[in-house]
Amino acid sequence: MKILIAPQSYKGSISAIKVAEAIKEGALNIFPSIESLIIPVADGGDGTLETLVESTSGIIHNSNATGPLGNSIPIIWGTLGDSKTAIIEMARISGLALVPQNKRNPYYTTSYGLGEIIKEALDLGYRKFIIGIGGSATNDGGAGMAQALGAKLTDANKKSIDFGGLALNEITKIDISGIDPRINESEILVACDVNNPLCGPNGASFVYGPQKGASPKMVKTLDDALYHFGSQLISDTGINIMEIEGSGAAGGIGGGMVGFLNAKLKPGVEIVLDTLDFDKSLKNVDLVITGEGQIDFQTVFSKAPIGVAKHAKKYNIPVIAICGSLGENYQDVHSHGIDAVIPIIPKPMDLKKASDNAYELIKNTSEQIFRILKISW
């Protein structure tokens, strides 16, 4: 019997690789000779950097970059084991978690540091990029990123605009001729799991602005600023990002990535699975085990367990998910390729205790699953 273990991390509790090791240990306790393959996965969000670096024997790089508030901060980014691909999480550079609650203001937060790290990777010879854009603190349409890479966004006085979403209103000229020419030699994949346009009621400002600190009045101002930015980009370059699906992701970074860097937006889990050559690993597999911290109705929206299940079902392989807890309408996953969902909590316990004992709980749950399978196998 051969099993493939491909879980996501349990956010804030245990890494994907540790989840996988716990599942494997539980299986081996019942089937000592079982053949197992571990492939930790992610969906392009939190934890993707570490998962891909660890899974490919890559490298974590420590650097400094301009943070969302404009000050220099220590950050990490990664390179994969192929020695060709850089992986960058925007949340580590321009993320909301980096901004204290009382300083959250998308009028002024910037994506400049993201551009700095892309340039650093270019300097080191990397020409393929995987960039996760979730968890951003910004609403600047990627203007800061573009400036760091050589674009000129100037006001009526021919001065560079300031950082932040509000300053987009001041743009009178966008000149992309100075963007680092090495961008044209690069393949840039952006993990994007939303389809919001740049502007309007479903756009970046209205949907995501409030969680970044924007009041209702600010949301309207920011939306107008992004509209002006998008219109100016069309006028000066002929590039139209206004209606691209996903252009409103991460405060307009989705659109900025396409417009300035010719990036491709793809579901994060598909980027991860393609990078790991996941389908090749499914050969001769009898069972796939996946999982995440909580499985609920949201899991079906491009989360890693569903991506894993979708690929497994192409080869008619059964899929079991082990999760920390079951949420609202968790049964929805059954129509998306996951055959059974098993939570790890055996009795009432608080979140801290569950988190502290996650490895043992996952191992014990895995062991019970394989005890049941032993009856029929």
Predicted confidence (pLDDT) per residue in 161-214, tens digit: 999 999 999 999 999 999 999 999 999 999 998 889 999 999 999 999 999 999
- pLDDT the model gives residue 199: 97
Does 54 lie in the same domain as 36?
Answer: no
Please state, as a whole number, how many other Cβ atoms lie within 10 Å of the Cβ of residue 30. Answer: 17
Check pLDDT > 80 for residue 270.
yes
Per-residue confidence band for 301, with pLDDT thresholds at 50, 70 and 90: confident
Distance of CA 158 to the CA centre of its chain: 36
pLDDT digits (tens, 9 = 90+) for 25-45: 999 999 999 999 999 999 888
pLDDT digits (tens, 9 = 90+) for 52-100: 999 999 999 999 999 999 999 999 999 999 999 999 999 999 999 999 9
- pLDDT the model gives residue 369: 97
pTM for the model stands at: 0.90
- pLDDT the model gives residue 47: 83
- pLDDT the model gives residue 233: 97
Distance (Å, whole) CA 332 – CA 62: 40
- For the chain, what is the domain count? 2
Mean pLDDT, residues 220-232: 98
Does 249 lie in the same domain as 228?
Answer: yes
- pLDDT the model gives residue 194: 87
pLDDT digits (tens, 9 = 90+) for 87-145: 999 999 999 999 999 999 999 999 999 999 999 999 999 999 999 998 999 999 999 99
Does 74 lie in the same domain as 8?
Answer: no
Q: DSSP secondary-structure letter at 278? A: H
- pLDDT the model gives residue 193: 85
Mean pLDDT, residues 335-344: 97
User: Which CATH number does the domain housing residue 288 bear?
Assistant: 3.40.50.10350
CB 305 within 8 A of CB 299: yes
User: Which CATH number does the domain housing residue 207 bear?
Assistant: 3.90.1510.10
- pLDDT the model gives residue 133: 94
For residue 30, give its domain range. Answer: 2-41+279-376
Does 13 lie in the same domain as 62?
Answer: no
Mean pLDDT over the full length of the chain: 95
Check pLDDT > 80 for residue 319.
yes
pLDDT digits (tens, 9 = 90+) for 3-14: 999 999 998 889
**What share of the chain in percent tops pLDDT 90?**
93
- pLDDT the model gives residue 340: 98
Which of 11, 2, 66, 4 shows the shortest CA–CA distance to 276? 4
- pLDDT the model gives residue 218: 97
Q: Measure Cα distances from 18 to 31, 36, 41, 87, 348 in Å.
A: 20, 15, 12, 21, 23
Does 18 lie in the same domain as 118?
Answer: no
Does 52 lie in the same domain as 37?
Answer: no
Does 367 lie in the same domain as 224?
Answer: no
Per-residue confidence band for 355, with pLDDT thresholds at 50, 70 and 90: very high
Does 184 lie in the same domain as 95?
Answer: yes
Check pLDDT > 80 for residue 302.
no
